[in-house]
A and B are shown apart, each in its own frame.
Chain A
Amino acid sequence: MGAMLLFSCEELYTPVYEQEDASPILIIEGYIDMSGNSRFKLSQTVPLNAEESRVPVANATLAVESETGQAYASFTSTAGGQYTLSHPALPMTTRYRVRIKTRGNEYLSDWVTPYATSEISGIDHQRTDTGVDILVSTVNRNDNSRYYRWEFEETWKFSARFFSAMVFERGEVRFRKQPEENISVCFRQEKSSDIVIGTTDNLSDNTISRQKIQFIPNLSDKLMNRYSILVKQFSISKEAWLFWSILKKNSESVGDIFGSMPSELKGNVHNTTNPREPVIAMIEASWPAQKRVYISNNDMGSWAVSIPFYSGCEYMEVPVGEAASLFSNPAVIPLSDIYKVPDAPPTHYSYTTSRCTDCTLRGGYLNVPDFWTDL
């Protein structure tokens, strides 16, 4: 294969497709949360060449129904297609389904068996040549499902290129009140964007051992200060596992040298009047397990950070007398005062551009998340 790949080449390709393949398909994300208040997102497909990739479906009605005859139909929704059904924790002893009405059609999921999952026993990290792997392990459990899916949310604290200790306000340069006036230390959050699934099907125990769920490449600022990952683990049915694995295979690894065929993605939601209409959805009923861990920069030994966003950032100085006129430009931000004469007032201020010290410009937010604990 190596030799073939040596001679092979890959080029960007834009197909020409038939118009009949262009009608939008309903997409349902979310699961019946056995612990209460299920959340769903409704959207539809768009042509490959469309600008946006997310077209929400609003004005739908949703309900969760149980095989024993319960129905929970009160929900709140947003214009972005987010629906939150209010219901209590549900008994694990019966099966459930989701009913959705939109655009004059009614969609019903198959009855699904709820699964609780085993505890996450540990989330480890392992340094490799290229970065850090995040690995999850579970305790052994005599569970009837040997299929797993993980979702995670990463939160990390990072600093802008330069720390601004001072602020220019009403013609004066003064020290910032910390933490209220901090602009240089931020938090960022990201949800998992890759499908992470695993199975213990061919293992003797139903134990997940150091399953890799995420990778942080070298030079990433996720580990420049402190990093936290909240892992949510679902036990799922084999049918759901197949759905997720096909979805993963279709979008992450189709087209290798052997030409693995894109498989037909069969979900468990159907149009009640036209069962052949494709619907992209796999409704699960789940009581997930979750666990949060922190990784600090000191845990890493050494961790170099390089952020292209901050390239060209410069640390500059201005005499105190010229400060007022310089800092009247809001794109220029003072960093700290500089004492060049011993036992005398500051003679200069250091400064930089806002890009290099205001971390919100890099997509961070300043509020410390509720769960956050520092070392």
Chain B
Amino acid sequence: MNKTCFFWLIIFVSLKGMAQNDRVSLNLASARFSDMVRSLESQTPYKFYYLPADTDSLLISYSGTNKALSEVLSEILHPLNFRFATDPRKKIYITRDAFILTEFRDIHGSKPTAIPDVVIRDFLEAQPEDISIENKVFEIGNKDRPVKGEKTLSGYIRSKNTGAPVSSATVSLVGRSAAVQTDQHGYYSLIVPEERSVLVVSSVGLRETRRQLVMYGSGRLDIEMTDQVFSLNEVVVAGERGNQVKRIQMGLEKLNIKTIKQTPAVFGEADVISVILTLPGVQTVGEAANGFNVRGGATDQNLVLFNDATIFNPSHFFGLFSSFNPDAVNQVELYKSSIPARFGGRLSSVLDVAGKEGNRNKLSGAGGIGLLTGRVSLDGPIGKKTQFLAGARSTYSDWLLKVIPDDAYRNSSASFYDINGQISHYLNEKDAFYLTGYASRDRFSFENGITYGYRNANVNGKWKRIFNGNVHSILTLGHDEYGFNVADRNNAANAFDMQYFIGQSFLKADVYHQLHERHKLNYGLQTTLYAIQPGKRLPAGEESIVTPQSLQNEQALESALYVSDTYTLSDRFSVDAGIRYVMYQYLGPRSVNRYSDGLPKSPETLEETLHYGSGKNIKTYTGPEFRLGLRYAFSNQSSVKLGYNSLHQFIHMLSNTTAATPTDSWKLSDPHIKPQFGDQLSLGYYRNMASSKVETSVEVYYKRIHHYLDYKSGAVLLMNETIETDVLGTEARAYGVELMAKKTTGKLNGWISYTLSKAQQRTTGAETINNGRYYNSNFDKPHNLTMVGNYRFSHRYSFSMNTTYSTGRPITLPIAKYEFAGSERVFYSERNKYRVPDFFRMDLSLNIEGNHKIKKLAHSSWTVGVYNVTGRKNPFSIYYVSEAGKIKGYKLSVFGHQIPFLTYNFRF
């Protein structure tokens, strides 16, 4: 309930005494100015008038009991260079730097002739019923039999407009430091120690709301939040101001879909992964390269989850777009350091993309039209308890290829689509069901007659059960698939079709248990059954003499039990300790080769082939994983954290190119290929500055990876039945320091991050690369500086910029030339000894919102911008070509000049 005042200009000074009997108690921790005002207004008869523009980026921490109002105000405001004045009608005016004269003074013994025009009125943004609901006292529990001590309050937080759950909303009690966050379904559970308290719920883009509580016993309260429609200065970067200091987790990056949508991306399509790449510690080998690397980890070491479904290939169109339809995404979390014990199976990171849930109130939709892609989504209620959301996206990029006056392109084609859907059903207060599906398909063909295609398909069902306020569980059953195919029709005699398929079925049970206010337990089990068809090649057409070949299927069962305990020892010190015990079984039917002991595995050292029957256990790997997080807070504004993680990875992506390609296949650990094992130690210091307007952090990490895979020169990875004869045992290490400063509030917001890091690997077996010494990994880019900024000129116009600088990636360079077999050729340096030139790119975009009438058919917006505005030709690779006996060196840049884009978005 803000008050806006329009305007005055009086410079004189007169502070009239305030009634000393207005005594107040105030306990604020990083509270907004408006919270302070609200609290004071509720305790006194005064009404406050101030300019929100002056005060909305302030965060106030104050503690005082039964103090005079004037004293409290002086203590809070004077250090901030604010002044206050009261008038006899119990109004308090707060101004910056200057005083307000609240009485007319005698000037030269006469009445003033001119009085500045003073118009004071309340500006009510909120609907009256919201105010009344905030003032209403909710009685929970049985008044006649009140329970002493701690009680639990739980329930769902939803958007009033759409009925969609609000995830990552912060729920806390006024005057207490403990706060909880809602899960992806908007569910929260909070221990309430006192009978009478005030609940505060806040979330990005939504108006903060409060509930007056009287708790006689544990109970449930669902809360609706209203949209903050015209949020001129509202934070869009991050919801939880100050939380980086408080939470135990380190290396966690949360991104709201609004942030993702405002960051410029190539072709104007809001893109989850391209925003992820602006975060410290996240790298890619080059623009439009599939996949990303987190803290020196390989691209296959990221667990990419979309509503709990594992997306094996999160890219479309060679990495130009990521798999996620921005209209179907609610928020994105990237865990790069502390990975909670409930996640496992990948070493480097978890990218948890939470989808939106359907509108509970009315049918609504959203969409967009860009130069290359179009998307649409629709959501709404089906009956009172059920909602749906369905979205689709596709490309029409072929026109682009057709206009190029070159046959090689004209006869090429490329296309993709993805569809996603969700149905949520809230059966009763205790049970909720969710059914989620995702499917995508990519296809591209070249002039040379080769067609590639790949697809993701995922479906899962979830049952959420609330046993009581303290315990709830989520049971998930799902199936994920990925497959690709290659069709070669270049030469009728050699024409073939090749297919690869991986499927996994999983069951997860997670229990969240709040023991008391300071003690939370999370435990559960997971089991995943993998089935892989590693390759099938069939001749195509009558003339083809290709031998049909089908590699043996692989199957395995991966199971895990975990428990994780979060304990707040004191306001300063908290611990999060978890253990996850994993068991992996490689299962028959399959034939497994045995090689001579102590010799390199090769066809020459093959001793025998062992056959295992269906379901027979061929090889078991087990081991514990530890997850530990410690936090010590120096104050509300700064803390230090320590984290240690260890993880296993049983599934490996076979790739011997710099960037991931769609024909990279996944391979299960087997008796020869050991599971990858990695651990990471990290230490971080977090400090909020300028009244929490600016969050800064420093994190250092050291990471080790064992049983990483590299390949012998010239290894063919597709259709290879004995891949173990082509791999080189490798270990990797990575270390670095990440600095970040983030301004989350105000018209100008964004972040600057700098990462200094190293990622190296070395071969450990008899056959070596670079003689077994450590060498730089493909994605080792020691320096990386990123700046993402957004400036909101007005309600309708905002301007965004994204700037990235990084060291060029390592490359193996030719060092000498020679003549051989009739041509001039080049001799290459040691692996990754040199680097491509440094990378720099700046993107700009302007977001133009349509008019802001609340009630109109559709809201629309335009995004116009330029990708790579300096037109720098950032080299993706450097290569040498032998053309008619001559050798020429080239550098290839993927986006070698400015790329303008324009996208039209709408929602209704």
Interface residues of A (CB under 8 A from B): 1-15, 17-18, 21-22, 24-25, 27, 29, 43-48, 50, 53-54, 151, 191-195, 202-205, 207, 209-210, 242, 245-247, 249-266, 276, 278, 280
Knowing A3-B397, A5-B409, A246-B713, say if A50 contacts B894 (CB, 8 Å). no
B834 within 8 A of A: yes
Cβ of B879 within 8 Å of any chain A Cβ, yes or no, is yes
Give the distance to chain B from A17, nearest Cβ to Cβ, in Å.
5
Contacts of B824 in A (CB 8 A): 53
- The answer, among B546, B892, B893, for a CB contact under 8 Å with A202, is B546
| CB nearest to A210 among chain B residues | B493
Structural contact, B825 and A258, CB atoms closer than 8 A? no
CB closest chain-A residue, reference B404 = A6
Which one of B79-87, B666-674, B687-695, B882-890 is at the interface? B882-890
Flag if A193 contacts B817 (CB, 8 Å): no
A53 with B828, Cβ < 8 A, contacts A202-B546, A204-B547 known? no
- A17:B659 contact, CB within 8 angstroms: no
Q: Check A192 against B820 for contact (C-beta < 8 Å).
A: no
> For A54, A255, A260, which residue has the most chain B Cβ atoms within 10 angstroms?
A255
Asked if residues B545 and A265 are in contact (CB atoms below 8 Å), the reply is no
Inter-chain contacts of B891 with A (CB < 8 A): 10-13
- Complex Cα–Cα for A256 and B812 (A): 14
Residue of A nearest to B868 (CB): A7
Cβ–Cβ contact B819 & A43, under 8 A: yes
Pair B409/A2 contact, Cβ less than 8 Å: yes
Q: Please give, as numbers and ranges, the residues of chain B lying within 8 Å of A262 by CB-CB distance.
A: 812, 814, 828
Q: Can you sample 13 A-B contacts with CB below 8 Å?
A: A3-B317, A6-B409, A9-B892, A17-B813, A17-B829, A45-B816, A192-B821, A202-B537, A205-B545, A209-B493, A251-B826, A257-B894, A259-B778
> Which chain B positions have C-beta within 8 A of A207?
545
- Contact between A258 and B661, CB atoms less than 8 A apart: yes
> How far is A170 from B798 in the complex, measured between Cα atoms in Å?
91
- Tell me which of B125-133, B358-366, B516-524, B870-878 binds A: B870-878
6 new A-B contacts, CB < 8 A, other than A17-B813, A46-B817, A264-B769, are A12-B891, A53-B887, A210-B493, A250-B825, A259-B286, A263-B713
Which of A3, A151, A210, A256 has the most C-beta atoms of chain B within 10 angstroms of its own C-beta? A3
Shortest Cβ distance from B819 into A: residue = A54
Contact of B285 among A25, A253, A259 (CB under 8 A): A259
Q: Is the CB of B816 within 8 A of A21?
A: yes
Complex: A266 Cα to B831 Cα, angstroms = 13
Task: Bits for B803-818, please: 1 = Cβ < 8 Å to A, else 0.
Answer: 0000000001111111
Alpha-carbon distance between A247 and B887 when the two chains are bound, in angstroms: 13
Stretch at the interface among B210-218, B736-744, B895-903: B895-903
Q: Which of A2, A193, A276 contacts B822 (CB 8 A)?
A: A193
Smallest CB–CB gap between A103 and chain B, Å?
16
A75 CA to B446 CA, complexed, in Å: 52
Name the one of B814, B818, B828, B889 contacting A44, with C-beta atoms under 8 angstroms: B818
Q: Do residues A2 and B400 form an inter-chain contact, with CB atoms below 8 A?
A: yes
Q: How far is the CA of A260 from the CA of B660 in the complex (A)?
A: 10
Tell me, rounded to whole Å, the shortest Cβ–Cβ distance linking A251 to chain B.
Answer: 4
Assuming the A-B contacts A1-B318, A45-B818, are A265 and B659 also in contact, with contact meaning beta carbons closer than 8 angstroms in the complex? no
Residue from B414, B877, B880, B888 within 8 A of A1 (CB atoms): B414
Q: Within 8 Å of chain A (Cβ to Cβ): is B714? A: yes
On chain A, the residues within 8 Å of B877 by CB distance are 255, 259
Collect the chain B residues with CB atoms within 8 Å of residue A250's CB: 825-826, 828
Q: How far is the CB of B777 from chain A (nearest CB, A)?
A: 12
A195 to B769, CA, bound (A): 25
Type the 1/0 row for B398-411, where 1 means its CB is closer than 8 Å to any CB of A.
00110010000100
Q: B444 touching A2 by the CB < 8 A rule?
A: yes
CA of A204 to CA of B778 in the docked complex: distance in angstroms? 38
**Chain B residues whose CB sits within 8 angstroms of the CB of A192 once the complex forms:** 821-822
Q: Are B816's CB and A194's CB within 8 A?
A: no
Given contacts A193-B885, A202-B546, contact A25 B818 (CB under 8 A): yes
- Tell me the smallest distance from the CB of B449 to a CB of chain A, in Å: 13
Q: Is B14 an interface residue (CB 8 A)?
A: no
Q: In chain B between 686 and 736, which residues have their CB closer than 8 angstroms to a CB of chain A? A: 713-714, 719
Distance, CA A254 to CA B713, complexed state (A): 13
Quote the shortest CB–CB distance from B526 to chain A (angstroms).
Answer: 33
Residues from 309 to 341 in B contacting A, C-beta threshold 8 Å? 317-318, 320
Task: Name the contact of B401 in the complex, choosing from A3, A11, A29 (C-beta under 8 A).
Answer: A3
CA–CA, A281 to B878, complex, Å? 25
What's the nearest-Cβ distance from chain A to residue B36, in Å?
52
Chain B contact-residue range equals: 35 or more
- Which residue among B400, B401, B823, B899 has the maximum number of chain A CB atoms within 10 Å of its CB? B823
Q: How far is the CA of A46 from the CA of B831 in the complex (A)?
A: 20
B817: chain A residues at CB < 8 Å are 45-48, 50, 53
Residue of A nearest to B892 (CB): A10
Chain B residue numbers with a CB within 8 Å of A202 are 537, 546-547, 549, 719
Q: Which residues from chain B contact A245 at a C-beta distance below 8 Å?
A: 714
Which residue in chain B gives the minimum CB-CB distance to A17?
Answer: B815
- Choice from B412, B892, B894 contacting A2 with Cβ under 8 Å: B412
In this complex, what residue of B is CB-closest to A245? B714
The chain A residue sitting closest to B835, CB to CB, is: A15
In the A-B complex, the 3 residue pairs with the smallest Cβ-Cβ separation, listed nearest first, are A255-B879, A259-B658, A9-B896
Known: A3-B401, A4-B288, A27-B818. A251 touches B825 (CB 8 A): yes
Q: Are B713 and A21 in contact (CB under 8 A)?
A: no
**Shortest distance between the CB of B744 and any CB in chain A (Å):** 34
> In the complex, what residues of A have CB within 8 A of residue B834's CB?
15, 17
Interface residues of B in 815-863 (CB under 8 A from A): 815-829, 831, 833-834
Bound complex: CA A47 to CA B814 (Å): 10
Distance (whole angstroms) from the CB of A220 to the closest CB of chain B: 12
* B771 within 8 Å of A (CB atoms): yes
Residues of B contacting A21 in the complex (Cβ-Cβ under 8 angstroms) = 815-816, 829, 833
B505 within 8 A of A: no
Q: Known contacts A3-B400, A7-B899, A250-B828; is A193 also within 8 Å of B821 by CB? A: yes
| Bound CA span A8–B878, Å | 13
Least CB distance, A25 to chain B, in whole angstroms: 6
Residue of B nearest to A54 (CB): B819
**A265 to B825 Cα, complex, angstroms:** 12
Supposing A17-B813, A48-B816, A258-B658 touch, asked if A264 and B831 sit within 8 A by C-beta, the answer is yes
Beta-carbon contact of B828 and A2 below 8 Å:
no
Is the CB–CB distance between B820 and A278 below 8 Å?
A: no
CA distance A207 to B826 in the complex (A): 33
Residues from chain B with Cβ under 8 Å of A254 in the complex = 879-880
Known contacts A8-B894, A195-B821, A252-B882: A2-B414 contact under CB 8 Å: yes
Instruction: Assess whether A7 is in contact with B878, with CB atoms less than 8 Å apart.
Output: no
Q: Which of A6, A22, A247 contacts B400 (CB 8 A)?
A: A6
Tell me the complex Cα distance, A338–B885, Å. 45
B372 within 8 A of A: yes
Interface string of B376-410 (1 = CB under 8 A from A): 00000000000000000000010011001000010
Contact B814 A247 (CB under 8 A): no
With A252-B882, A259-B876, A265-B827 in contact, is A1–B658 under 8 Å at CB? Answer: no
Q: Does B110 contact A (CB under 8 A)?
A: no
Given contacts A27-B820, A203-B547, contact A4 B318 (CB under 8 A): yes
* Docked-complex contact A48 and B879, CB < 8 angstroms: no
Residue of A nearest to B656 (CB): A261
Task: Give Cα A339–Cα B409 distance, bound, in whole angstroms.
Answer: 57
Which parts of B509-553 form the interface with A (CB within 8 Å)?
537, 545-547, 549
Inter-chain contact A25/B816, CB cutoff 8 Å: yes
Partner of A53, one of B397, B818, B821, B829: B818
Distance, CA A246 to CA B821, complexed state (A): 13
Bound-state CA distance A7–B897 (Å) is 7
A251–B400 touching, CB < 8 Å: no
Q: Could you tell me if A11 and B885 are in contact, using CB atoms closer than 8 angstroms?
A: no
Report yes or no: B657 in contact with A258, Cβ–Cβ below 8 A.
yes
Contact (A191, B880) CB under 8 Å given A3-B400, A257-B894? no
A29 and B713 contacting across the interface, CB-CB below 8 Å: no
